[in-house]
Amino acid sequence: MPNIKSAKKRVITNAKKRDNNILTRSSMKTAIKNSEKAVKANNKDLAESNLKVALKRIDKALSKGLIKKNAAARQKSRLTKKTNNVK
């Protein structure tokens, strides 16, 4: 445990940021899973609406630096392809 006042503040700040990062990453993964479930169930309307949500969550994680640019592009591309193949 730090003794210096600024270091104590930093510990608290880092804990808050870590919690927010976990929340953002978790919501991204959940949105991706929901989108894939809708695709698997062949529900086109639900798949498209879930895709929209998933793309937003991926972009948010990207803007916060939680995932890299190419990883975000890859995930978005894969989800979009899967959704477009639903009949």
**pLDDT at 22 (0 to 100):** 98
**pLDDT at 87 (0 to 100):** 80
Residue 53: domain span: 5-84
Count how many domains the chain has: 1
Question: pLDDT band for position 29 (50/70/90)?
Answer: very high
Residue 43 makes CB contacts below 8 A (sequence gap 6+) with 86
pLDDT digits (tens, 9 = 90+) for 32-77: 999 999 999 999 999 999 999 999 999 999 999 999 999 999 999 9
Which CATH number fits the domain that encloses residue 77? 1.20.58.110
Supply the angle between the helices 69-84 and 44-63 in degrees, to the nearest 10: 180
Question: pLDDT band for position 3 (50/70/90)?
Answer: very high
CA distance 8 to 55: 37
Question: pLDDT band for position 1 (50/70/90)?
Answer: confident
